[in-house]
A and B are shown apart, each in its own frame.
Chain A
Amino acid sequence: MKLGPAHDRVEVIAGLDISLSAGRTLGVVGESGCGKSMTALAIMGLAPKPHAIGGELRFAGQDLRAMPDDARRQLRGAEMAMIFQEPMTALNPVVPVGVQIGEMLIVHEGASDADAARAAVALLERVGIADPARRARASPHELSGGMRQRVMIAMAIACKPRLLIADEPTTALDVSVQAQILDLLLELQRDTGMAMIFISHNLGVVSAVADDIMVMYAGRAVETGPAQLVLTAPAHPYTAGLIATLPDIGHRQKILPVIEGSPVNPRNRPPGCAFAPRCKLVIPDCRAAVPPMVALGPSQRAACIRVAA
């Protein structure tokens, strides 16, 4: 995927191979700017214009790249929904939350205003908001951060989508509220069987919800595999570094380990492995060519020549 006008395109995402089936959750992990959110926006069809997407993008058998804009719009919200990091700014400050939820049904299912209002109250109740009839009339600023994120979720599940993309849904929330929101998402997924893409820079949060994990670095996947395997036996040095940065309850550490250096700018990506400048295991061959994804057993894959060797 490339962004920018034709004469000045920058490749921001490359070589991603994701597949996700109903009822499964894919956790996407990586530092800020690694292309997690851009991947989500590309799937939704909301990536900033102008842009160019190569390869294949299929949803329930349909080729999304070939789909006209209006068909794509009808898919958004109805079949694939997205929730965002900051529920304060992601909700319209001047529209009552019940109306913001209800309009999903008006637009996608042709519901009447009265039916939509009733459905909004039911959805608010479904996401665990007390006194939903009164809260439906409230403006976003009258609700707490956790409640606002519940409103976002109610909005996203209003039309029972087959895919829910959650982009850092708990990052802006208190730790105790984070757990409640994660529980809610998992519970909804169990009930509806929707597939979920869960994006976070926080490996700990992802490990709590994901079946599979994809670790991204500089616009590419560097490791994919079942969550259990990736977390306990990371193959890529970057994944191992991320896991090492997790604070460990029970072990008092004075200083949390960090990965030295900062992510690369997509405009001047080094010729070889993008992680090479920060990698402790780097050898000269790392800088020669972009390492391909290699299978390590039946399900785990990593893009590192040290692992393949």
Chain B
Amino acid sequence: MGRFLASRLTGAGIVLLLKSFVIFALIGLMPGDPIDLMMNANPETTPEQMALLRAMYGLDLPITSRYWTWLTAAMHGDFGYSRIQHRPVLDIIIPALGNTLILTGAAFVISTILAVTLGTIAALKRGSWIDRIINLFAFAGISVPSFWLGLLMIYLFAVRLGWLPAGGMPRPEQGMGGMLAHLVMPVMTLVIVETGGLARYARAAMIEVLGQDYIRTARAKGLTDRRMLVRHALRNALIPVLTLVALQLGGLFSGAALTEAMFAWRGMGRLILEAILGNDYNLALVCLLFVTGTILIANIFADIAYTWLDPRISLGKRRR
């Protein structure tokens, strides 16, 4: 276990390092730099002043030495400033991350429980009308674009019925109720979009397990349906489902750009979008690296969770 963690974390570190350079280089290749943008804001800037500014910010140096400067600072915990907001990037990322986790975390928990439940019911009642209805909803959820669904909900619940705020962040004085009211529509959008695929996957995994010999054994033992399902079927069916769930776990931190934009939710997805569009490249770089890191860690976590569920899998050692 210790060796497994050490080797996987080292691997993750190397991936992060490589990715930081690739992102840095890609952003450097984008047409226009911050000085060009300054000139747009103030057309009277002379070419000499621009050259002076470039030298001042180090933008005239080759990209490798600029990267090296960034990396040295980052290694010392200094991730730099946002060009647009004139604040340290961490001060911007941390609140956005909190907002995102509230939104995506709630949607993740609800959609995972819902998907496993629906998938299990569909598998048990395979071919029945319940199965068909669950399938229909699953495909509808997979097919519907989140921006369209979001718009529809805003129109219905905010504009026509006036039950819920159309978007934005709750103010602190609105308390828990305000938070929930603002969360309902974006969470529902994410749940509807995410549940379908996972439910289909859970259904397939469950059907596979229900056909196994050990389920026949469980029936021959005279176990109650409930015990057979919970103790024998579900635990086996969850092993493949976990892969998908763990991959989504990494995605929690990157936020849901479309849904956050739609409901003016100040989360990571929206922050990344704005940072790239606004040429705020230090902010974009740190955000993207952070997202990569969380996905890598989620994958390591998935591998560890495997061993909890399936004793046949052991980490770091050869299979017996």
CB–CB B222/A78 < 8 A: yes
Most buried by B among A44, A95, A139: A95
CB–CB A107/B310 < 8 A:
no
A95→B213 contact, CB < 8 A: no
Q: Report which of B220, B232, B235, B320 forms a contact with A82, defined as CB distance below 8 A.
A: B220
Name A71-109 residues within 8 Å CB distance of B. 73-78, 81-82, 84, 86, 89-96, 103-104, 107-108
- The segment from B57-65, B139-147, B223-231, B292-300 found at the interface with A is B223-231
Q: Are A95 and B231 in contact (CB under 8 A)?
A: yes
B235 and A95 within 8 A (CB): yes
B212 interface contact, C-beta 8 A: yes
> Is A244 part of the contact surface with B, judged by Cβ < 8 Å?
no
Contact B224 A84 (CB under 8 A): no
Query: Chain A: interface residue count, which band?
Result: 20 to 34
What B residues does A104 contact at CB under 8 A? 221
B193-226 interface mask toward A, CB cutoff 8 Å, 1 = contact, 0 = none? 0000000000000000000111011111111100
Assess whether A92 is in contact with B219, with CB atoms less than 8 Å apart: no
Q: Which of B212, B221, B224, B236 has most chain A Cβ within 10 Å? A: B221
The verdict on A44 contacting B213 (CB below 8 Å), with A94-B235, A103-B227, A142-B320 known, is no
Q: How many residues of B contact A (CB 8 A)?
A: 23
Shortest CB distance B282–A (Å): 47
Are the C-beta atoms of A77 and B320 separated by less than 8 Å? no
Which residues 69-89 in B have Cβ within 8 Å of A in the complex?
none
**Interface status of B175 (Cβ within 8 A of chain A):** no
Is A153's beta carbon under 8 Å from chain B?
A: no
Contacting pair B214 A90 (CB below 8 A) = yes
Contact B227 A77 (CB under 8 A): no
**A46 at interface by CB-CB < 8 Å:** yes
A2 at the interface (CB under 8 A from B): no
Cβ B220 vs Cβ A44 within 8 A: yes
Q: What is the chain B residue whose CB lies nearest that of A69?
A: B225
Q: How far is the CA of A19 from the CA of B108 in the complex (A)?
A: 58
CB <8 Å contact, B312 and A141: yes
Check B311 for interface membership: any CB of A closer than 8 A: yes
Expressed in whole angstroms, the Cα–Cα distance for A110 and B217 within the complex equals 20
Report whether B213 and A107 are in contact in the complex, using a CB–CB cutoff of 8 Å. Answer: no
> B136 at interface (Cβ–Cβ under 8 A)?
no
Q: Are B223 and A94 in contact (CB under 8 A)?
A: no
What chain B residues lie within 8 Å of A74 (beta carbons)? Answer: 222
CA–CA, A46 to B231, complex, Å?
20
Contact check: which of B221, B223, B231, B311 meets A141 at CB < 8 Å?
Answer: B311
Contact (Cβ within 8 A) B217 A91: yes
> Which residues of the other chain, A, contact B220 by a CB distance below 8 angstroms?
44, 46, 76-77, 81-82, 84
Q: Which 3 A-B pairs have the closest CB atoms?
A: A77-B222, A76-B222, A89-B213
Known pairs A77-B220, A94-B310, A107-B222; list 15 more (Cβ under 8 Å). Answer: A46-B216, A74-B222, A76-B221, A92-B214, A92-B217, A93-B310, A93-B311, A93-B312, A94-B236, A94-B312, A103-B221, A103-B231, A104-B221, A107-B223, A141-B320
